[in-house]
Amino acid sequence: MIVAIDGPAGSGKSTVAHAIAKKCGFTYLDTGAMYRCVTLACLRRGVDVADEGAVTDVARSISIEFLPREGGQTVLLDGEDVTADIRTPEVDRAVSPVSAIAEVRSAMVELQREVAKKGDIVAEGRDIGTVVFPAAEVKVFLTADASARAHRRAVQRQGGDAATGNVVATDKASEEAILADIKRRDAYDSTRKEAPLRAAEDAHHIDSSNLGVDEVVAKVMELIDNAR
């Protein structure tokens, strides 16, 4: 079975997808982390993210691996643990143009579909139900209002997790900057030519603005049970 969870930045896709994968014994595929790995590699190599050919070369030259760990997963870029490095503001600002490059998406989609051939998966991203796995048995479009998403991201950067109640203090200025960046990314991702952010016609919409992670997970589990 393939469970596709799409939605904008900060909507809680990763937390929900990981919880679903753990409950069902499925493989968790964080496609957003893959594009972030490409972006980080470009930044480290001094590659201009507007240079589509150079970015594509980077995407096809790197190795990306996911390893399970308690409470999440470890992301390896060419064998190095970059789990924290791919979540920085610098990567946030550059990942949208990188993920909009057709050849980069082609390279990543190939990897994603190879993973799906090996067994049941929960995949999350922005085009999973529309492009990567259009025949997925369960499709969810998970969203939340921009302010809620900005707060979650601010808490995450301070080492907490608002979705699970592990809330830490955040800086107002930093949160406002994150909100502005989220709005920019929403506009960019929704209007880009290649695989824009949108819900599949047969996706189930869930607004997580006022829901805890357990409540969202319960809704998705009901969809999975109905699809079996």
CB 27 within 8 A of CB 122: yes
What is the CATH number for 47?
A: 3.40.50.300
**Tokens 């992301």 identify what position?**
75
pLDDT (0 to 100) of residue 189: 85
Residue 75 lies in a domain: yes
Q: Which residues contact 164 (CB under 8 A, 6 or more apart)?
A: 15, 212, 213
Residue 213 lies in a domain: yes
Tell me how far apart the alpha carbons of residues 39 and 53 are, in angstroms, rounded to a whole number: 14
What is the bridge-based pairing of β-strands 64-69 and 72-77? antiparallel
Residue 226 lies in a domain: no
- Please tell me the pTM assigned to this model: 0.79
Residue 227 lies in a domain: no
Residue 45 lies in a domain: yes
Structure tokens that stand for 181 in this block: 């960046």
Residue 228 lies in a domain: no
- Give 173-214 pLDDT, tens digit per residue: 888 999 998 999 888 888 888 888 889 999 999 999 989 899
Domain that holds residue 113: 2-220
- Give 80-131 pLDDT, tens digit per residue: 999 999 999 999 999 989 998 999 999 999 989 988 998 999 999 888 999 9
